[in-house]
Amino acid sequence: MARDGGIDSTLLLTKSDLVNVLDLESMIGEVMREHGIHVIPLSNRSGAGYDRLRETLVKGRTYCLIGSSGVGKSTILNRL
């Protein structure tokens, strides 16, 4: 839907600390290959990935977070 609307999307993969590194890299690679979407894994426990996320944000642009309840949208906003 985002791609059809010309929206540049990034998948924020929260709770990445719950998966071992090799499985995480494999899953990210699969998403990128099959869907051509940029993926940033985040860990709210360690803070991993937040520097990378901050680097992608551009002043003056509008962003939105979409996801099910409990996936960490509010936590991401509060941490930023």
- Convert the pLDDT of each residue in 51-75 to its tens digit: 999 999 999 999 999 999 998 999 9
- Convert the pLDDT of each residue in 4-27 to its tens digit: 888 888 999 999 999 999 999 999
pTM of the model: 0.85
Supply the DSSP string of 36-60, one letter for each residue. --EEEE--TTT-TTHHHHHHH--TT
- Convert the pLDDT of each residue in 26-41 to its tens digit: 999 999 999 888 999 9
Q: What's the rounded Cα separation, in Å, for the pair 26 and 63?
A: 27
Domain boundaries, the chain: 10-79
Write the CA distances from 33 to 17, 26, 38, 50, integer angstroms. Answer: 22, 11, 10, 23
